């Protein structure tokens, strides 16, 4: 569990491209759920100086159940969004899910999380700003 700081989990495909699964700011749980007898599927690294709480195997019951449910809910919603939502909808969900993270990570990582190119992210952000501006003018 992240006590302070910011972590990310990601995989690297056979072409060397990173695909970010999730970010873990303060009070989030991050893990690779691969069974112990298999090689891990995810890399986890700190994007900032971080303090983490490492839970011992078999002592997971000490984790707040609500934090586990929140993590599962976020991952489920992310999978559904990746299958059916537009890039702008995924960006809106990212902002909602990680309200204090957008200024703490590079745009390249946000684009990776959204499954789009950095150029497409720039367009999404530009279109979002125009939409907000138009709403404020009405």
Q: What is the pLDDT of residue 65?
A: 80
Q: What is the pLDDT of residue 133?
A: 73
The domain limits of the chain are 2-137
Residue 44: exposure state from Cβ atoms within 10 A (0-12, 13-18, ≥19): middle
**For residues 115-136, average pLDDT:** 87
CB burial readout 4-32, b (16+ within 10 A) else e: ebbbbbbeeeeeeeeebbbbbbeebbbee
Tens of pLDDT, residue by residue over 36-70, are 899 999 999 999 999 998 877 666 666 778 888 88
Q: What is the pLDDT of residue 33?
A: 85
Q: At the topology level of CATH, where does 2-137 sit?
A: Jelly Rolls (2.60.120)
pLDDT at residue 3 above 60? yes
pLDDT at residue 19 above 90? yes
């Amino acid at each position: 569990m992240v006590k302070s700081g910011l972590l990310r989990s990601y995989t690297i495909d056979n072409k060397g491209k990173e695909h970010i699964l999730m970010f873990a700011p303060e009070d989030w749980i991050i893990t690779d759920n691969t069974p112990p007898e298999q090689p891990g599927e995810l890399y986890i690294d700190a994007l900032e100086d971080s303090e983490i709480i490492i839970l011992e195997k078999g002592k997971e019951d000490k984790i707040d159940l609500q934090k586990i449910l929140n993590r599962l809910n976020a991952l489920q919603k992310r999978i559904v969004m990746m299958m059916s939502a537009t890039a702008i909808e995924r960006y809106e969900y990212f902002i909602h899910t990680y309200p204090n993270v957008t200024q703490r990570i590079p745009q390249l990582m946000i684009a990776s999380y959204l499954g789009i190119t950095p150029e497409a992210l720039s367009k999404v952000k530009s279109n979002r700003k125009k939409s907000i501006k138009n709403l404020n003018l009405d």
